[in-house]
């Protein structure tokens, strides 16, 4: 993968949450907050997990072009206000719904420490919550605004696949 500017890595790694956008069968974009489970800086692959029975998983299977937005809404206090939009192609891995996602759990728990205690409750409130598919996103383009400066054109990094 092409080398990203340091601030783009920072925008990804320091984000508490991000917005994951997919499209419905009627080509309507749907963006929902998610926790990034893992980011591989060598390949650029971004990994989230999602309850397997959600529309998000169905949308990705049918229409793999997705986007992930990292913005100041999902960062900690005192962090730079970088905004980064990652466009890419996603694939669903549901080969091990029970525990396949757990190998990436540390990234999720780092962003939201209370997750360790809340998983059992979430499973009671939302049956199937811990039956999670992995969604891997291979970036095709990064568009970013350092320090959230929308008065300038975004920095663009095209990914050679």
Of 12 and 98, the structure prediction assigns the larger pLDDT to 12
Integer Cα distance of 25 and 62 in angstroms: 8
> Contact at 8 Å (CB) between 83 and 145?
yes
Hey, what domains does the chain have and what are their CATH numbers?
A: 6-151 (2.30.110.10)
What pLDDT, in 10s, does the model give residues 77-135? 666 689 999 999 999 998 887 777 666 666 666 666 666 666 666 666 666 667 789 99
Q: What is the DSSP string of 55-122?
A: HHHHHHHH--EEEEEE-GGGB-TTS---EEEEEEEEEEE-TTTTTGGGGGHHHHHHH-TTHHHHHHHH
Give the H or E element holding residue 134.
strand 132-145
Q: Please report which confidence band the pLDDT of residue 41 belongs to, taking 50, 70 and 90 as the band edges.
A: confident
As a whole number, mean pLDDT of residues 9-24 equals 90
Give the pLDDT of residue 129. Answer: 67
Q: Please report which confidence band the pLDDT of residue 17 belongs to, taking 50, 70 and 90 as the band edges.
A: confident
Residue 26 has pLDDT above 90, yes or no: yes
Give the pLDDT of residue 120. Answer: 65
Q: Please report which confidence band the pLDDT of residue 16 belongs to, taking 50, 70 and 90 as the band edges.
A: confident
Give the pLDDT of residue 121. Answer: 67
Residue 36 has pLDDT above 70, yes or no: yes
Give the pLDDT of residue 48. Answer: 92
């Amino acid at each position: 993968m092409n080398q990203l500017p340091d601030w783009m890595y920072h925008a990804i790694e320091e984000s508490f949450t991000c917005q994951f956008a997919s499209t419905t069968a009627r080509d309507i974009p749907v963006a929902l907050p998610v926790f990034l489970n893992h980011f591989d800086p060598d390949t650029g692959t971004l990994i989230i997990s999602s309850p397997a029975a959600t529309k998000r998983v169905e949308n990705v299977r049918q229409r793999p072009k997705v986007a992930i937005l990292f913005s100041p809404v999902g960062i900690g206090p005192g962090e730079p206000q970088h905004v980064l939009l990652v466009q890419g192609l996603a694939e669903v891995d549901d080969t091990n719904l029970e525990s396949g996602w757990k190998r990436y759990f540390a990234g999720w728990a780092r962003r939201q420490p209370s997750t360790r205690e809340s998983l059992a409750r979430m499973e009671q409130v939302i049956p199937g919550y811990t039956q999670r598919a992995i969604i891997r996103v291979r970036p095709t383009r990064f568009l970013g605004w350092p320090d959230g400066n929308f008065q300038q054109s975004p920095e663009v990094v095209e990914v050679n696949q």
